[in-house]
Amino acid sequence: MLDALTLVTGVAALLLAAWCGWAAYRDQPTKDWHFIGMAVVSLLAVVQLVIGIVQLARGEKPEQGTTIFVAYLLGAFACVPAAGFMSLAERTRWGSVTVAAGGVVLAVLEVRLYDIWGG
């Protein structure tokens, strides 16, 4: 797949994690700016999802199987928004920790996606 995009998404996810981790450290809930950050990372995941599907449609095959690849694409796409909604329900530092954890999970998913595609 587009290695550059995978890398950018992974790094962005880690940055988001660090940012929200910082907010948690300062005992703050997620704020508007954090949600804009989450939106940016989610947008990257959406672009990745679309590109991944287009590449599958063009007949390219991931090394470890199409089903696993699509499952991970969907997981990566849902990851940060899910954490974001949970932080909306939990307006304390723990909401920020949850989003930070979401960022880390997304970064791990990106590494797996890279492997699955056969980078």
Of 2 and 86, which has the nearer Cβ to another protein?
Answer: 86
> CB 4 → another protein: shortest distance, Å?
26
Of 12 and 24, which has the nearer Cβ to another protein?
Answer: 24
Nearest to 12 by CA among 51, 47, 62: 47
Which residues contact another protein by CB under 8 A? 67-68, 71, 75, 82-83, 86-87, 89-90, 92, 94-95, 97-98, 101-102, 105, 108
What is the C-alpha separation between 52 and 103, in angstroms, rounded?
20
Of 46 and 71, which has the nearer Cβ to another protein?
Answer: 71
Which amino acid belongs to residue 92? Answer: T
- CA 69 from centre of chain: 15
